[in-house]
Amino acid sequence: MNDLTISLDGASKIPLYEQIYSYIKQEIQTGRIRSGDRLPSTRALCRYLEVSRSTVELAYEQLMSEGYVEAKACRGYFAADVEGLYQLEGPVPAGRDAEIPQTPSWPYDFTPNGVDLNSFPYNAWRKLSRESLVDDRAELFRLGSPQGEYGLRSAICSYLHQARGVNCTPEQIIVGAGNDYLLMLLATVIGQDHKVAFENPTYRQAYRLFENLSFQICTVDMDEKGMDAAKLEASGADIAFVMPSHQYPLGIVMPIRRRMELLRWAGKKEGRYIIEDDYDSEFRYKGKPVPALQGCDSREKVIYIGTFSKAIAPAIRMSYLVLPRPLLKRYQERSGFLNSTVSKVDQLILKKFIEDGYFERHLNKTRALYKSRHDTLLSCLKSGLCRAGGDGRQGKKTEDARGNTGPRFRISGEHAGVHLLLHVLNGMTEQELIDRAKKRGVRVYGLSEYDVEPRPEAPAAILLGYANMSEEKIMEAVKILEEEWMS
């Protein structure tokens, strides 16, 4: 019989039976109690520990239910054979803490994925939540339409037509919990016998998703206007994933001529489609918002996907897919049985949020906020790092510590979205810039993170997002970058 040197803590909030159970389980997991070793009887152990017999029996029952201990008739309790099993629990080996990645606290974080949640209309959302649940409506808690509730789809349809020029009906819209889910749903609709072309660099999440779903994938080179239609034709792809209103991460706004070229490419053959990801088109700082590519599509070739994550908040997990009519029947046949992934209560709140004008007011407020931060960042860059004159793209010919003359950095992608790019012209590497900024508590992001295929000839570039940084923080952070990058 194995002697157990259990030390119980009567003052602990953990029940005594749990302390006994945890001790014996850990001894078995670590091999100090080996398979087949006999455990003390409940009577003997309760006398030794000076606890009630029922306390010991509870601990043994839990151990038996989890398979750590076996009871043999007329013989007693024995440790079970768990050797070689994956240990879900147990002590952390010495030095493991050093291997666990810690999330650092950054005084300044230029994340391109930021959203200002301080401006979220909490009072309005709380009010609409109460109104949605004020009546005992059992209907709210039943399964709804797989595509999302018709009222919400109708509100989205009206908004898309007015704000983005999208031509669709509520029947074409599918509401889902995030773009990832909707792209996986789309994969079941179109089938896997397609080759999908992505821009390079691109939104890596979408690329990885199609790659993991076993689609054939490729990349197509870009120029200053976006994806090259001639190279797309040569790639053999029949689906193109593009972000024409604001390419991520380069920030390119695709001109109308290139859009027409892509639509002509799609119209040449049956089964070709364009997936238009319109993720942050609400934010534009020069001219009017560019209409969606879908609005120019007369041959039902564009699959449009959008989200409320940037415009409202990421946590509401609400995105929408607009299917061309020819794909609707295929959706019903292949995926119509899948239930909606968004609760009806949340859908009703968002519907009221749009219809009652809260969404438009929130967008106007957020645009003004981001515009102010955008202007502050540009002003700081042009007067400091970029040494800009004229249109902000021509720098003074100054000499840096390396003996280089000419502009140090160049700005692009600043007319839309919530980030811009800083292209490096003084020979510093991307990693060098990131490391120097990190020493002073400033987090910046390298463009190479978004490269699917290496671009060895591309100069280093840094992404600077400004959505969740105040004007004061932006000015302080740019001053630090100037000190570190121009010394």
- Interhelix angle 344-355/150-164, rounded to 10 degrees, is 40
Instruction: Note the pLDDT of residue 406.
Output: 47
- Provide the whole-model pTM: 0.76
pLDDT over 80 at 404, yes or no = no
The H or E element spanning position 174 is strand 173-176
Q: Which range among 61-70, 189-198, 262-271, 393-402 shows the weakest confidence by mean pLDDT? A: 393-402
Domain 120-361 has CATH 3.40.640.10: yes
Residue-wise pLDDT for 84-129, tens only, equals: 554 444 444 444 344 444 455 789 999 998 888 888 899 999 999 9
Instruction: Note the pLDDT of residue 396.
Output: 40
At 476, is the pLDDT very low, low, confident or very high (cuts 50, 70, 90)? very high
The encoded tokens of residue 458 equal 């591309």
Instruction: Note the pLDDT of residue 97.
Output: 42
Pick the most confident of 42-56, 96-110, 127-141, 145-159: 145-159
Instruction: Note the pLDDT of residue 50.
Output: 85
Length of the chain measured in residues: 487
Q: Is the dihedral of CA 346, 351, 353, 354 positive or negative?
A: positive
> Which residue, among 306, 319, 354, has the nearest Cα to 177 in the 3D structure?
319
pLDDT over 80 at 278, yes or no = yes
At 360, is the pLDDT very low, low, confident or very high (cuts 50, 70, 90)? very high
DSSP line for 381-425: HHHTTS-EETTTTEE--EE-TTS-EE-SEEEESTTBTTEEEEEE-
> Which residue, among 412, 422, 416, has the nearest Cα to 442 in the 3D structure?
422
Q: Which residues of 102-123 are buried (b: 16+ CB within 10 A; e: fewer)?
A: eeeeeebbbbbebbbeeebbee
- Amino acid identity at 343: S
Instruction: Note the pLDDT of residue 48.
Output: 86
Pick the most confident of 79-83, 93-97, 474-478: 474-478
- Interhelix angle 430-439/471-485, rounded to 10 degrees, is 120
Q: Where are the domains of the chain?
A: 1-102, 120-361, 368-485
Residue-wise pLDDT for 205-222, tens only, equals: 999 999 999 999 999 989
| Share above pLDDT 90 across residues of the chain, in percent, rounded to a whole number | 55
Residue-wise pLDDT for 5-22, tens only, equals: 788 887 888 888 888 888
- Amino acid identity at 102: Q
Pick the most confident of 192-196, 279-283, 457-461: 192-196
Instruction: Note the pLDDT of residue 3.
Output: 65
In whole angstroms, what is the distance from residue 92 CA to residue 385 CA?
47
Q: Which range among 109-113, 346-350, 405-409, 471-475 shows the weakest confidence by mean pLDDT? A: 405-409
Instruction: Note the pLDDT of residue 157.
Output: 96
Average pLDDT, the chain: 86
- Give mean pLDDT, residues 427-454: 92
In whole angstroms, what is the distance from residue 246 CA to residue 277 CA?
9
In whole angstroms, what is the distance from residue 437 CA to residue 107 CA?
11
**Span 1-102: which CATH code?**
1.10.10.10
In whole angstroms, what is the distance from residue 359 CA to residue 162 CA?
13
Domain made up of 368-485: CATH architecture:
Alpha-Beta Complex (3.90)
- Interhelix angle 42-49/53-65, rounded to 10 degrees, is 130
Instruction: Note the pLDDT of residue 371.
Output: 93
pLDDT over 80 at 286, yes or no = no
The DSSP call for residue 416 is: B
Instruction: Note the pLDDT of residue 103.
Output: 52
Task: Tell me the three state secondary structure of residue 382.
Answer: helix
Instruction: Note the pLDDT of residue 75.
Output: 87
Instruction: Note the pLDDT of residue 135.
Output: 67
Domains 1-102 and 120-361 share a fold: no
Q: Is the dihedral of CA 219, 223, 226, 231 positive or negative?
A: negative
Instruction: Note the pLDDT of residue 225.
Output: 92
